[in-house]
A and B are shown apart, each in its own frame.
Chain A
Amino acid sequence: MKFCTVKQYFDDENNNNVTNGIATTVIPLPNKHLKIKANNKEMEQYEQELLRNVMPQELTKLILAANYLNFKEALDFFCRTVANAIQNKSVDYVRKFFGLESDFEPGEEEKLCKEFAWSFEGVDED
């Protein structure tokens, strides 16, 4: 069933530009998963390697692809990767990463910051 969806995905013209990403990253995943499922350390190293070759912004494309293909393991992996990449980042960085803007009323955001001021400690510089 997976092959049919993959073919359909490639045929869909809107997705032509992400083909490269899929081919090199998403497709090999199931085999890799099966081969090294038992070995967590190897999987971590594989993940690190993957991260080095993929820009954080590219990850959003891969996530959409994995979601479309209903490929749960890849989706979990990519979501975890994004989570690890952003967990120590500032609110501004995260906004830029996801292409979002603040829509708070003036003063609302400050109130939120004050409530959990300690959660802003130790955040990476942008």
Chain B
Amino acid sequence: MMSQSEEARPPMILRRRTNNHLPDEIVLEILARLPVKSVLRFRGVCKSWCSYITDPNFISTHLNHNHHDHHHDYVIHRPKSKSISSRSNLQVCTLALDRTFETISEFRIPFTFQSGYPRLVGSCNGILCFTDCVTSKSKDVYLWNPSIRKFKRLPDTCLTQLRTLVLGFGYDFQNNDYKVVRISQTRVKDVLAREVEVYSLSSDSWKRVGLGISWTPNAFSFSFNGILAFPFVSGHLHWMIEVMEVGGGQEMCFSAMILSFDVNSEKFKELPLPDDEGSFIVTKCVTSFKGKLALIKFGYGVQPHSMLCSIWVMKDYGVLDSWNKLCVLPVDAFIDFTGFTNYGILLIQNMPRLVSTNCELERKYKSVLIDPETLHENEISIQVNYHLDVATYMESLALLDGANVVFH
């Protein structure tokens, strides 16, 4: 029962079990709606708040609140190749708004690689996964959450011989765990051996898993995915592969396929591609578009010198018949395709054109966002003259509860 005098006094001291003391679950509801910076600061309020905040369940609740608030849809972009001016730009990630690429802030990558060319493996729930460039011998893999300024170097491989072929980074939502998959390929004499290991953040260790697919190692090879990171969609990681099989008449048959990895069950599967339609396909890349698995095919159309880009989307995950062609875009011969963002906008970067202004020739770079569903084109303000890693991004507290995490 509240007395008159207690009613008048402002809340200055700890009161237990009074009508105005908020229960824990409500405090958590409030904390879950705060931006990352505030949550981190409020760890200092008291011991119980500190332990609520570092609890993995709270971290995922907080993420869900952030995720549904569409004011916080971002992309992170980073140059992949040297610009003319300085090499140090490769260490800078820019945080920008998803729809307009308007810059919000910049983060400097807090770790370095031997080659000086960091490579983005994937982006998941606010964690970025980086490794060294394809040609490097370095096997270092890092997980980094720029919004809490914490990163972690993954422990060394558990495989006896490691020669990285492909990597993938995804989130196991059933176990609230982050995983990195590494497929290694070594050749001993004529024999190709492929081994797979999976890293789990919650156990902070790698473990060997079986590839478990029907073809012999020599029968398939991983395709280069253009400049795109391998997509994480519907709880699966995906890579493009080419399968070579000997046909009935001893001829070699080539077919392309998507290799998928279920991050929860840690099992591999094959996903078929839609029909080639006979057009001459130069290259195919697998990516994600508005949360669905997508395929981009570049090829030549009927008319000479005309390159076409067709975009397909798998409407129902895993269902072959659900491959749906969204559009076919005519692309200039010199187009540079960069990537997709969460709102399904394709970023195409044109190669520099010579533009005459005031009787002087200038190189002008144009970057546009194209919506493959509406074909609406938007020129964006960022002027870039190098390839970009583009990844969807959101602020989160992920990695706060991780082992051996370093703050910078």
- Segment with Cβ contacts to A, from B45-53, B82-90, B234-242, B363-371: B45-53
Residues of chain B contacted by A119 (CB below 8 angstroms): 37-38, 40-41
Question: In the bound complex, do residue B34 and residue A103 qualify as a contact, i.e. CB atoms below 8 Å apart?
Answer: no
Instruction: For the complex formed, measure the closest distance between the CB of B71 and the CB atoms of chain A, giving whole angstroms.
Output: 11
* Cα–Cα, bound, A94→B34 (Å): 13
Contact with A along B138-174 (1 / 0, CB 8 A): 0000000000110000000000000000000000000
* Cα–Cα, bound, A104→B49 (Å): 11
Residues of chain B contacted by A120 (CB below 8 angstroms): 41
> In the complex, what residue of chain B is closest to A123 when comparing beta carbons?
B41
- A126 close to chain B: CB less than 8 A: no
Residues of chain A contacted by B2 (CB below 8 angstroms): 14, 17
- B188 close to chain A: CB less than 8 A: no
Question: In the bound complex, do residue A64 and residue B407 qualify as a contact, i.e. CB atoms below 8 Å apart?
Answer: no
Interface residues on A, range: 35 or more
Q: For chain A, what secondary structure do more than half of its interface residues adopt (helix, strand, loop), or is it mixed? A: helix
- B275 close to chain A: CB less than 8 A: no
Instruction: For the complex formed, measure the closest distance between the CB of A102 and the CB atoms of chain B, giving whole angstroms.
Output: 6
Residues of chain A contacted by B407 (CB below 8 angstroms): 115-116
> In the complex, what residue of chain A is closest to B48 when comparing beta carbons?
A103
Question: In the bound complex, do residue A67 and residue B26 qualify as a contact, i.e. CB atoms below 8 Å apart?
Answer: yes
* Cα–Cα, bound, A76→B20 (Å): 18
Question: In the bound complex, do residue A83 and residue B40 qualify as a contact, i.e. CB atoms below 8 Å apart?
Answer: no
Residues of chain B contacted by A60 (CB below 8 angstroms): 11, 20, 22
Question: In the bound complex, do residue B13 and residue A103 qualify as a contact, i.e. CB atoms below 8 Å apart?
Answer: no
- B1 close to chain A: CB less than 8 A: yes
Q: Out of B14, B26, B47, B50, which one reaches A99, CB within 8 Å?
A: B14
Q: Say whether, besides A17-B2, A102-B45, A115-B407, A63 and B22 are in contact (CB < 8 Å).
A: yes
Question: In the bound complex, do residue B41 and residue A99 qualify as a contact, i.e. CB atoms below 8 Å apart?
Answer: no
- B305 close to chain A: CB less than 8 A: no
- B27 close to chain A: CB less than 8 A: yes
Question: In the bound complex, do residue B44 and residue A79 qualify as a contact, i.e. CB atoms below 8 Å apart?
Answer: no
Interface residues on B, range: 35 or more
Instruction: For the complex formed, measure the closest distance between the CB of B62 and the CB atoms of chain A, giving whole angstroms.
Output: 11
Q: Say whether, besides A63-B22, A87-B38, A113-B44, A79 and B15 are in contact (CB < 8 Å).
A: no
Question: In the bound complex, do residue A91 and residue B41 qualify as a contact, i.e. CB atoms below 8 Å apart?
Answer: yes
- A33 close to chain B: CB less than 8 A: no
- B302 close to chain A: CB less than 8 A: no
- A80 close to chain B: CB less than 8 A: yes
Instruction: For the complex formed, measure the closest distance between the CB of B159 and the CB atoms of chain A, giving whole angstroms.
Output: 35
Question: In the bound complex, do residue B15 and residue A99 qualify as a contact, i.e. CB atoms below 8 Å apart?
Answer: yes
* Cα–Cα, bound, A109→B2 (Å): 34
Residues of chain B contacted by A67 (CB below 8 angstroms): 23, 26
Instruction: For the complex formed, measure the closest distance between the CB of A39 and the CB atoms of chain B, giving whole angstroms.
Output: 16
- 8 further A-B contacts with Cβ under 8 Å, apart from A86-B30, A86-B38, A104-B47, are A60-B11, A61-B20, A76-B29, A79-B30, A86-B34, A94-B45, A99-B11, A115-B407
Residue ranges of B at the interface with A (Cβ–Cβ < 8 Å): 1-2, 7, 10-15, 19-23, 26-27, 29-31, 33-35, 37-38, 40-47, 49-50, 148-149, 407
What 4 A-B pairs have minimum CB-CB distances, sorted nearest first? A83-B33, A99-B11, A119-B41, A119-B40
